[in-house]
Amino acid sequence: MQRVVQVIKADGATDERLNLGLSAADILRLYRTMVLTRTLDTKMTSLQRQGRIGFYLSSFGEEACSVGSALAMSEQDWFFPAYREQGAALLRGVPLRSIIAHLLGSAEDEFKGRSLPGIFGNKSARFVIPSAPVASQIPHAVGVSLAAQILGHESIAIVYFGDGATSANDFHCGMNFAGVYHTPTILFCKNNQYAISTPTKRQTASDGIAVKARAYGFDGVMVDGNDVLAVYLATRRAVEKARSGGGPTLIESLTYRLSAHSTSDDPRRYRSDSEYREWIKRDPIAILKLHMDRIGIWNKEYEEETQADAERQVTKAIRLAESAPRPDPITLITDVYSEPTLALREQYESL
Ligand SMILES: Cc1ncc(C[n+]2csc(CCOP(=O)(O)OP(=O)(O)O)c2C)c(N)n1
């Protein structure tokens, strides 16, 4: 197996020579965003159980992957998420209110309630809405970064996907185009050990995912996906390479989905408690806290304030989103063609 990039040691210290270039304010931002992401996941899962939203996909245990990688990207860059990138969305400045409006399908939702909950984007943040077929966002990201390269734009793209996505044709198609055209793309695989009930060892016969990049003519790196500073460092290196004409990088971020696949799943049917207990020892928020404590920017009071603030933000956003009206049913037909066709008008009349 390849070397795994790690930054935070068991005692919370980091190697000075790594030259992370992060200020205390940056580290606090990572921490606050990870706590906000987990709070959003907790509240939304409970809203689904109460019947107030239909479905939810959480990112428990994977917060460091999306938050750490998003910090390495610049404003002009493009994000191609899958459906567990709420952390990257929040770090990118996508408002909580618009995420929750999407989950509720209210009139404030950019997609007017038509998209599967969790499959969302945000136009102004260049956070591109995916499609539900797993891996379909990968060729989109490679295409957009190729376009940016042809147009001479500074922007690059990052695309997120799971280990399960690497068995889909779109992964191989995207990887091949990225390699051949040397596109400025970061292919970020969150290897959370499962694709619903299929474990990674049944997903591929190769020694991990990162090694697959070699066959497409570019680098694949492995990173500890529960160490947010390692994720940041690996992504920043890939960003610097892409921006200076060095082409794509595949990042395999090793992590674990601490929650169910979605609110429709029960992981106790396919994985053991002991496995879960091993991984929860490496909770990404706890690992970052250890580092913050080590450098003197954490205490119990700050932790409680951060948690209370996250809960206030999420509760307020839920209240506002729930008081918004539902989308007007006419929007079912008005956004399909520039002029609704006769068949659509007839369907609307019968509705
Ligand atoms: C092409 C396709 N096949 C199957 C599905 C059903 N499906 C939805 S999510 C999922 C698992 C994907 O696993 P992975 O890519 O590892 O991501 P994770 O859910 O673990 O984050 C599957 C099989 C789908 N949406 N699209």
Query: What local confidence, expressed as pLDDT, does residue 72 receive?
Result: 98
Query: What local confidence, expressed as pLDDT, does residue 1 receive?
Result: 75
Known catalytic membership, residue 257: yes
Strand spans (E) along the chain: 4-5, 78-80, 157-162, 185-191, 194-195, 198-199, 219-224, 249-254
Catalytic residue among 270, 312, 319, 345: 270
Catalytic residue among 38, 140, 257, 291: 257
Q: Whose CA is nearest to atom 13 of ligand 1?
A: 195
Domains and CATH numbers, the chain: 4-350 (3.40.50.970)
Known catalytic membership, residue 261: yes
pLDDT of 161 above 80:
yes
Residue 39 — pLDDT band, cuts 50, 70, 90? Answer: very high
Known catalytic membership, residue 237: no
Q: Which of 80, 119, 134 to mutate to test the pocket of ligand 1 (most atoms within 8 A of CB)?
A: 134
For ligand 1, the distance from its centroid to the CA atom of residue 7, given in whole angstroms, is 30
Nearest-atom number in ligand 1 for the CA of 132 is 25
Determine if ligand 1 sits within 6 Å of the CB of residue 138: no
Determine if ligand 1 sits within 6 Å of the CB of residue 261: yes
Q: Whose CA is nearest to atom 25 of ligand 1?
A: 133
Query: What local confidence, expressed as pLDDT, does residue 2 receive?
Result: 85
For ligand 1, the distance from its centroid to the CA atom of residue 208, given in whole angstroms, is 18
Query: What local confidence, expressed as pLDDT, does residue 16 receive?
Result: 84
Strand partners, 264: none
Of 298, 292, 301, nearest in space to 22 by CA: 292
Give per-residue pLDDT as tens, 311-329.
999 999 999 999 999 999 9
pTM for this structure? 0.97
Give per-residue pLDDT as tens, 66-113.
999 999 999 999 999 999 999 999 999 999 999 999 999 999 998 888
For ligand 1, the distance from its centroid to the CA atom of residue 195, given in whole angstroms, is 6
For ligand 1, the distance from its centroid to the CA atom of residue 135, given in whole angstroms, is 8
Q: Whose CA is nearest to atom 11 of ligand 1?
A: 195
Share of the chain above pLDDT 70, in %: 100
For ligand 1, the distance from its centroid to the CA atom of residue 163, given in whole angstroms, is 9
Nearest-atom number in ligand 1 for the CA of 196 is 11
Nearest-atom number in ligand 1 for the CA of 163 is 16
| Other beta carbons within 10 Å of 152 | 6
Query: What local confidence, expressed as pLDDT, does residue 61 receive?
Result: 98
HSE at residue 105, side-chain half, CA atoms within 13 A, is 14
> What's the average model confidence in pLDDT over 139-153?
97
Query: What local confidence, expressed as pLDDT, does residue 19 receive?
Result: 87
Q: Which residues of 27-62 are buried (b: 16+ CB within 10 A; e: fewer)?
A: beebbbbbbbbbbbbbbbbebbeeeebeebbbbbbb
Question: Is the Cβ–Cβ distance between 209 and 252 less than 8 Å?
Answer: yes
Determine if ligand 1 sits within 6 Å of the CB of residue 78: no
Share of the chain above pLDDT 90, in %: 95
> What's the average model confidence in pLDDT over 39-51?
98
Q: Whose CA is nearest to atom 17 of ligand 1?
A: 162
Task: State how far the Cα of 351 lies from the Cα of 348, in Å rounded to an integer.
Answer: 5
Backbone angles phi, psi at 253, to 5 degrees: -105, 110
Query: What local confidence, expressed as pLDDT, does residue 335 receive?
Result: 84
335-339 long-range contacts (CB < 8 A, ≥24 apart) are 335/112
For ligand 1, the distance from its centroid to the CA atom of residue 314, given in whole angstroms, is 27
> What's the average model confidence in pLDDT over 236-244?
98
Tokens of 316: 């307020």
pLDDT of 22 above 90:
yes
> What's the average model confidence in pLDDT over 249-278?
97
Q: Whose CA is nearest to atom 19 of ligand 1?
A: 195
Strand partners, 220: 250
Query: What local confidence, expressed as pLDDT, does residue 21 receive?
Result: 94
Nearest-atom number in ligand 1 for the CA of 136 is 1
Residue 197 — pLDDT band, cuts 50, 70, 90? Answer: very high
